[in-house]
Structure 1
């Protein structure tokens, strides 16, 4: 029945500033509704992000309500820290890892891991770039991506 995620929504304080921020990440603006809601394509005709202008953005962060993870390629993820910084965005510390490079959270039971880097939008909504990554050595510890690759010789 379910094939994927079609849309997700975030609260924002300045709709136009947020539209520019997300366009800077590569999302494509589609349309606005009454200067209170904007939609941007994450993947054209497949999934989009709704941004809702509100004065309630000070709502305390919790990943269940103010978090989106964008799937990227492994090569894109490897370049993500420099890419974000060059665009004026700031990667942030997450799960105890400094934002110097992506890190990996293993899922040894399933034989893979998730490589990721975290950052925030202008309203403090939590964002991440993430990709699934092989775990042929069945690693069980979290670590930086460069360490993961050294342990796993050839990751595809």
Structure 2
């Protein structure tokens, strides 16, 4: 058993902080906690319990990846959420984004997309099914 419960914060790099703030604040609707313009940093709260996303402006950003947790009872809302915000879901693991991708080994349902800087983002819902460790991933 681990002492660690969840991810408290994660950080990504972007080329244009104002553009990123538009995406994370206005498009995705995250709550801005702090904006340090002189340092090129914005911090967003991402849920309850509060987790934090740090967005750092860099001259040559390196794309990262992270997932937003979604409740299992809202899996059917993941694709409409992105569509309503003109965000294109992307294929992953050879599967087109017609519906959430199920990863039986976890188990989870996920939808992948990207921000304006090419950071790989994911909506992820833990499923209440029993894990199937013999199945690495969908399909």
Give the TM-score of the pair, scaled to structure 2. 0.84
Alignment-derived partner of residue 30 in structure 1: 33
Alignment-derived partner of residue 116 in structure 2: 122
Please give the residue correspondences for 1:90-109 in structure 2 after superposition, counting only pairs within 5 Å: 90-107=88-105
Q: 1:131 aligns with which of 118, 125, 136?
A: 125
Task: Give 5+ residue unaligned stretches, structure 2.
Answer: none
Distance in 1 of aligned mates of 2:12 and 2:46: 14
**Number of positions where the alignment pairs a residue of Structure 1 with one of Structure 2:** 134
Residue deviations 1:76-123, cap 9 Å, x none? 32121122011011100011110111011112xxxx511101000000
Structure with more of its chain in strand, by fraction: 1
Give the TM-score of the pair, scaled to structure 1. 0.76
Distance in 1 of aligned mates of 2:74 and 2:23: 18
- Distance verdict in 2 for CA 1:3–1:56, change over 3 Å: same
Q: Which of these two proteins has the greater Rg computed from alpha carbons?
A: 1
- SS at 2:79 equivalent: helix
Alignment-derived partner of residue 67 in structure 2: 69
Task: Give 5+ residue unaligned stretches, structure 1.
Answer: 145-156
